């Protein structure tokens, strides 16, 4: 399944911010069980982002949905452009 | 924007595998620039997963799409159920 094209290019309120969206989805076949794995990955992803972005300047929104066989975590960040040169430097290391 | 409900609950070929999907999307306002940030996050996310899942037993598929103002990385894994007790143990630490 391709999920490309699911992120519409709507303009955000501030033109001086980039947007980073991360979706984590865990589908459990056979039913049952919780998704501690996803909760753990959420922490590790947020820690990885915090290495590159000054979190106090960044608007972060995390939401989670749990169903019987599916858990989804959505992480949504707006990153000020002032952070971007630092991001590119860190990312190229 | 809520992206919940975008992952349909289709049955996979093997009932003995869970499915983990990760989407990373970087929307660059003002246009231009590349997405080294996303490539870096991809590496960190794959490393985080490898801490909890035996990668040789896991089917991993990574795809990337680059446009002018948007980059999207999709990571798709099928995890054998034999790994799950280990995952839960690692995640609860």
Q: How far is A56 from chain B (nearest CA, A)?
A: 18
**pLDDT tier for residue B80 given thresholds of 50, 70 and 90:** confident
Given strand B59-66, what is the order of strands in its sheet? A59-66, A70-80, A17-27, B17-27, B70-80, B59-66
In B27-46, the residues whose Cβ lies within 8 Å of chain A are 27-30, 33-34, 36-37, 39-41, 44-45
**pLDDT value of position A52:** 78
**Complete domains list, chain A, with CATH:** 17-91 (3.30.1070.10)
Q: Which of A2, A12, A53, A65 shows the shortest CA–CA distance to B69? A: A12
| Residue segments in chain A with a per-residue pLDDT below the cut of 50 | 1-4, 9, 12-14
> Can you spell out the DSSP letters for B11-68?
PPS-TTEEEEEEEEEEE-TTS----HHHHHHHHHHHHHHHHHS-GGGSEEEEEEEE-S
Residues of B in contact with A20 (CB under 8 A): 24-27, 37
Does any CB of chain A come closer than 8 Å to the CB of residue B87? Answer: yes
pLDDT tens digits along A2-18: 444 555 545 544 457 88
> Is B14 a residue whose pLDDT tops 60?
no
């Amino acid at each position: 399944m391709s999920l490309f094209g699911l992120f519409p290019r709507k303009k955000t309120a501030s033109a001086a911010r980039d947007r980073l969206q991360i979706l984590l989805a865990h589908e459990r076949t056979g039913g049952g069980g919780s998704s501690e794995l996803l909760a753990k990955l959420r922490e590790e992803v947020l820690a990885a982002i915090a290495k590159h972005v000054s979190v106090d300047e960044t608007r972060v929104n995390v939401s989670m949905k749990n169903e019987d066989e599916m858990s989804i975590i959505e992480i949504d960040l707006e990153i000020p452009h002032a952070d971007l040169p630092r991001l590119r430097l860190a990312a190229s290391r």
